[in-house]
Amino acid sequence: MKITGVRVRDIRFPTSRNLDGSDALNVGDYSATYVIVETDGGASGHGLTFTNGRGNELTVAAVHALRHHVIGLTLEEVKADMRGLYRKLTVDPQLRWLGPEKGILHMATGALLNAVWDLWAKAERKPLWKLLVDLTPEQLVSTVDFSYLSDALTVEQALELLRKQQPTRAAREAEMRAQGYPAYTTSTGWLGYSDEKVRRLCEEAVAAGWTHLKMKVGQDLEMNRRRAGLIRSIIGPKGKLMMDANQCWDVPEAIRQMHSLAEFDPWWIEEPTSPDDVLGHAAIAREVAPIRVATGEACQNRVIFKQLLQAGAIGFCQVDSCRVGGVNEVLSIMLLATRFARVAQHRRGGRGGDPSGGLADPSYPRVPSAGPNCRTSAFHRWSLRLRPRHWGSPCGGRSSAGNGCRPRRDTGHTKSGSYSRRLHPDRSCRLRVSKTRGTRSHSDARPAGRPLGTQTVSLGAS
């Protein structure tokens, strides 16, 4: 099976209309650079990266600039040297200067690699999570680029970590299949929502069984306190409340705000400052303990994660497969989190879905960093997914109360809480909406101001 072509789609969702996805710094239209790797045998692999509005045009162009590295390769060549493919993409002699291994090019690299991994999984007739679970420690480690990591994690140490988990792997996989993978919801607390809407959404989420809810916080401390008090009054003292500042504070302001918000017992504060400020995160972590610091959604690469872990700057390592260099780099970050005994979480969600769910599920059977405190993010009201079945988790996530789903073999359907989520078969850009409320519609038309080739999806009523 030889890779013969790479197609790229620019797909956008008008989330700004109802302020879905709004936080302290970002209000835009959630988008996906959607990649389809085509082969001479008719099979295809699907991957994506998550962007915002016009920014999608840049990552689409970056995928086009990188695609020659995979065209012409056979699947056997890919499987024999997945680390080498990662290096080809990240050390391109004419493009590396624009990174290296960060920003637009790195996100495009992740989308392309995720599509190649999806192709491999389909060839094995397995979902991605199962492919990763079934690889031997030696095979997994062979896919990881250990450049710049040897002061924190060597190949030998990574093999030791994985081999140590081998005897209990099957039992943990069976547990995950039976009980699902824990998830929290972030769709109840977007910053642009009114208090009335937040109250309604929180009440609906709690009624559906969700016990872990995340809220957005901003510069206005009094608003943050009011919103935190509202949510805490609904979830009660036993519910877990998480907060996300989306990088809007300087270090002293983050400490000031969290000292005041500690009254509402937040489990963590996410992205309290610049994602590149390792020492700033460490200072915040020291000052706001026992509230933990979480970050990773905008971390550029494994090197930043290494430094955050070395500095004791984070309690939750939130890796995002749509930000870093795809599955290969996610594996290295999970191993780093295990090495430093931190909880590795997988951010998932956004319009179009992402492969993070498929990476969350093998993390529990394979590495101890994905233990009982691990939660994968889920935007549970947003059921629209552009996502191949083979990325899919065995359960699609479950609410913290445990009322998630069990595997439904080969159906491509999952359920999380009381909100259905459909994983799509291998039809490129086949869009469906499965919502408890609202219209079902899809538009291929190009609105005014949109570049040719852009797809915009109508979301219906909120």
Residues in the chain: 462
Please state, in angstroms and rounded to a whole number, the distance separating the CA atoms of residues 290 and 287. Answer: 9
Please state, in angstroms and rounded to a whole number, the distance separating the CA atoms of residues 113 and 325. Answer: 7
Q: Which of 130, 216, 240, 424 is catalytic?
A: 216
Q: Residue 343's beta-bridge partner residues?
A: 316
Please state, in angstroms and rounded to a whole number, the distance separating the CA atoms of residues 212 and 14. Answer: 27
Q: Residue 52's beta-bridge partner residues?
A: 30
- CB-facing half-sphere around the CA of 367: CA atoms within 13 A: 33
Question: Cα dihedral angle (436, 439, 443, 449), rounded to 10 degrees?
Answer: -100
Q: What is the DSSP string of 14-63?
A: -GGGGTTT--SS--S-EEEEEEEEEETTS-EEEEEEEEETTHHHHHHHHH
Q: Which of 102, 122, 346, 390 is catalytic?
A: 346
**Do residues 293 and 268 lie in contact, with contact meaning Cβ atoms separated by under 8 Å?**
yes
* Tokens of residue 401, six digits: 């109360």
**Sequence-distant (≥ 6) Cβ neighbours of residue 261 within 8 angstroms:** 217, 221, 224, 225, 228, 243, 269
**Do residues 306 and 332 lie in contact, with contact meaning Cβ atoms separated by under 8 Å?**
no
Give just the sign of the alpha carbon dihedral 321, 327, 329, 332: positive
Catalytic (active site) residue 346: yes
Please state, in angstroms and rounded to a whole number, the distance separating the CA atoms of residues 45 and 55. Answer: 23
Q: Which of 413, 327, 408 is nearest to 366 (CA)?
A: 327
Which residues are part of the catalytic machinery?
A: 216, 346
